[in-house]
């Protein structure tokens, strides 16, 4: 595999390949079995690398669950001890009553706290900015705040960002992103709208991400009309990395 | 435990797993362990075996998820698919160790669905992962750090270039390619040629 092919596959896998190039590659893959094999080989090798931190993550989860006693509750290396039938009957009645009562309470709770369509769509599509690639295009002064954001230390991250001048590229974006993560959707809307003002010259990828998170902020703030308009704007841009997911979100919203 | 999960629907779980969210993996871990452990114990396995099957199944599942071998279906439960991978893994382990004398069909988890040919033709990710881990130590400092920062710590190429003193992102990408070529040779994979 040449460097150029590797770079192409890398961008394709990272979903950073522009739409037109991605489409061209997919067309080529359909007709070229050797290219398909090369991509497969790249993906398998790539996954062998990605599996190293994933296995470490699973080990941490295992240790955490062990400390909580999860495995003692959920597994038994011992044969099960039969219960006496009368005790089993009483337990069955008790458990059934609890289940019926819990069902009624959950049902009532659901109808009282049923999320709106906007909230439901937000819950489905929102996630904190997941991958730390690309923010170096912003000012280096933002990096300490970004590191805090990545580790979900949102309050100190917000302090870091708000200490910077809002006229700097990327600052309003990260302020808005952090406000959204800390359940302040109205403030996030304001910051992300500011990030998209023409006077602010942020890197293109940051502007595209700001457009997406503004749509999320509108949903969270229950501003459904604005959210739909924003999603349509994203879905109409061929090079928008959030184009597909915006189309899916619009389809979900249209079920209303 | 599962009732308090934030994963109110399968699509949210699907997206969260793709994004690598720890809470999603913990949710899947609990679910898979609960569904597969009885089956493994019933066929002579131990807790360590169950842990091993759970880890390897989730790793294989992630490959299928990332590379679109798993086709999203609204009505399908992700866990059902992972259970089928786990069942296959356990059978494979049994075959390798000739430990499982016979698998009684009544011990199969009721929600396990049969795997397709495509689900089983992947390389041995466990073996490859161990080889990657071992052979990383044989790379030079810069190569090892570059791969660690990009694949394990998810840093950008710009950050890596700055950290390792490379002129820019393009130089860093070429160096990463060079390092991966070396690593492939060390673990005995087909060489990449310029």
Query: In CATH, what number is assigned to the domain containing residue A228?
Result: 1.25.40.10
Output the pLDDT for position B97.
Answer: 63
Q: How distant is the alpha carbon of residue A193 from its chain centre? A: 21
Q: Is the domain of A151 the same as that of A47?
A: no
Minimum-distance CB partner of A48 among B1, B34, B132: B132
Q: Is the domain of A62 the same as that of A137?
A: no
Output the pLDDT for position A114.
Answer: 59
Does residue A238 sit within a domain?
yes
Contact status of B22 with chain A (Cβ, < 8 Å): yes
Average pLDDT of the segment spanning A214-221:
93
- Cβ distance of B125 and A47 shorter than 8 Å: yes
Does residue A183 sit within a domain?
yes
Asked if the ipTM is above 0.85, the reply is: no
B179: number of Cβ within 10 Å:
20
- Cβ distance of B29 and A65 shorter than 8 Å: yes
Output the pLDDT for position A186.
Answer: 92
Categorize the per-residue pLDDT at A225 as very low, low, confident or very high, splitting at 50, 70 and 90.
Answer: very high
Retrieve residue A185's tokens: 């959707």
CB B130 within 8 A of CB B95: no
A79: number of Cβ within 10 Å:
7
Does residue A134 sit within a domain?
yes
Categorize the per-residue pLDDT at B111 as very low, low, confident or very high, splitting at 50, 70 and 90.
Answer: very low
Alpha helices (H) along A32-170: 33-67, 70-74, 85-113, 117-125, 143-150, 154-162
- Cβ distance of A74 and B37 shorter than 8 Å: yes
Q: Is the domain of A49 the same as that of A127?
A: no
Q: Is the domain of A56 the same as that of A153?
A: no
Q: Is the domain of A29 the same as that of A125?
A: no
The whole-angstrom distance between B155's CA and the closest CA on chain A is 6
Does residue A103 sit within a domain?
no
Output the pLDDT for position B146.
Answer: 94
Contact status of A102 with chain B (Cβ, < 8 Å): no
Of the listed ranges A141-145, A150-154, A214-218, B69-73, the least confidently predicted one is B69-73
- Per-residue pLDDT tens over the stretch A14-69: 888 888 998 999 999 999 999 999 998 898 899 889 898 899 999 999 999 998 88
Which chain A residue has the Cα nearest residue B125? Answer: A48
Q: Is the domain of A148 the same as that of A246?
A: yes
Does residue A211 sit within a domain?
yes
Chain B interface disruption, residue of A40, A51, A144, A212, most B CBs within 10 A: A51
Retrieve residue A182's tokens: 């800390």
Q: Is the domain of A126 the same as that of A244?
A: yes
Task: Report how far residue A236's alpha carbon sits from residue B142's, in angstroms, rounded to the nearest whole number.
Answer: 43
Count structural domains, chain A: 2
Task: Report how far residue B159's alpha carbon sits from residue B149's, in angstroms, rounded to the nearest whole number.
Answer: 9
Categorize the per-residue pLDDT at A240 as very low, low, confident or very high, splitting at 50, 70 and 90.
Answer: confident
B161 half-sphere exposure, CB direction, 13 A CA radius = 15
Q: Is the domain of A235 the same as that of A125?
A: yes
Output the pLDDT for position A208.
Answer: 85
Contact status of A6 with chain B (Cβ, < 8 Å): yes
If you ran DSSP here, which 8-state letter would residue A115 be given?
P
Does residue A114 sit within a domain?
no
- Per-residue pLDDT tens over the stretch B131-163: 998 899 899 999 999 999 998 888 889 999 999
Structural domain range at position A246 = 121-254
Task: Report how far residue A249's alpha carbon sits from residue A235's, in angstroms, rounded to the nearest whole number.
Answer: 10
Does residue A90 sit within a domain?
no
Domain boundary among A47, A66, A85: A66
Q: Is the domain of A130 the same as that of A212?
A: yes
Average pLDDT of chain B is 80
Residue A76 pLDDT > 70:
no
Which residues of chain A does B158 touch, with a Cβ-Cβ cutoff of 8 Å? 136-137
Does residue A199 sit within a domain?
yes
If you ran DSSP here, which 8-state letter would residue B3 be given?
G
């Amino acid at each position: 595999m040449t460097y150029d092919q590797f770079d192409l596959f890398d961008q394709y896998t990272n979903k950073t390949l522009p739409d037109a190039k991605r489409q061209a590659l997919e067309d080529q893959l359909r007709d070229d079995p050797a290219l398909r094999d090369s991509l497969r080989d790249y993906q398998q090798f790539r996954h062998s690398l990605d599996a190293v931190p994933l296995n470490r993550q699973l080990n941490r989860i295992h240790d955490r669950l062990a400390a909580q006693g999860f495995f003692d509750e959920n597994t038994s290396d011992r044969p099960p001890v039969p219960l006496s039938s009368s005790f089993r009957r009483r337990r069955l009645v008790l458990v059934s009553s609890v289940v019926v009562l819990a069902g009624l309470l959950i049902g009532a709770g659901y109808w009282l706290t049923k999320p709106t369509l906007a909230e439901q769509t937000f819950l489905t599509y929102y996630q904190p900015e997941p991958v730390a690639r690309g923010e170096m295009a912003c000012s280096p002064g933002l990096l300490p705040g970004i590191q805090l954001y990545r580790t979900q230390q949102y309050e100190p991250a917000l302090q870091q960002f708000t200490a910077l001048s809002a006229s700097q590229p990327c600052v309003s974006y990260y302020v808005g992103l952090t406000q959204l993560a800390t359940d302040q959707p109205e403030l996030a809307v304001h910051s992300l709208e500011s990030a998209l003002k023409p006077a602010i010259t942020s890197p293109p990828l940051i502007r595209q991400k700001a457009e997406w998170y503004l749509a999320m902020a509108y949903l969270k703030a229950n501003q459904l009309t604005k959210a739909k308009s924003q999603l349509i704007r994203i879905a109409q841009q061929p090079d928008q990395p959030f184009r597909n997911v915006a189309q899916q979100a619009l389809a979900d919203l249209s079920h209303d | 435990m599962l009732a308090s999960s934030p994963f109110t629907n399968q699509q949210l779980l699907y997206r969260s797993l793709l994004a690598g969210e720890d809470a999603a993996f913990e949710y899947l871990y609990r679910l898979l362990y609960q569904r597969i452990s009885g089956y493994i114990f019933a066929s002579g396995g131990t807790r360590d075996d169950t842990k091993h099957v759970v880890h390897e199944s989730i790793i294989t599942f992630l490959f299928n998820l990332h590379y679109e071998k798993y086709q999203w279906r609204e009505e399908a439960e992700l866990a059902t698919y992972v259970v089928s991978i786990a069942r296959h893994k356990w059978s494979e382990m049994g075959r390798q160790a000739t430990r499982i004398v016979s698998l009684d069909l009544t011990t199969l988890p009721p929600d396990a669905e049969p795997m397709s040919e495509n689900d089983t033709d992947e390389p041995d990710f466990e073996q490859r992962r161990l080889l990657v881990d071992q052979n990383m130590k044989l790379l030079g400092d810069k190569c090892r750090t570059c791969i660690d920062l990009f694949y394990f710590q998810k840093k950008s190429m710009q950050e890596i270039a700055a950290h390792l003193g490379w002129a820019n992102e393009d130089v860093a990408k070429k160096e990463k390619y060079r390092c991966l070529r070396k690593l492939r040779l060390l673990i005995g994979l087909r060489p990449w040629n310029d």
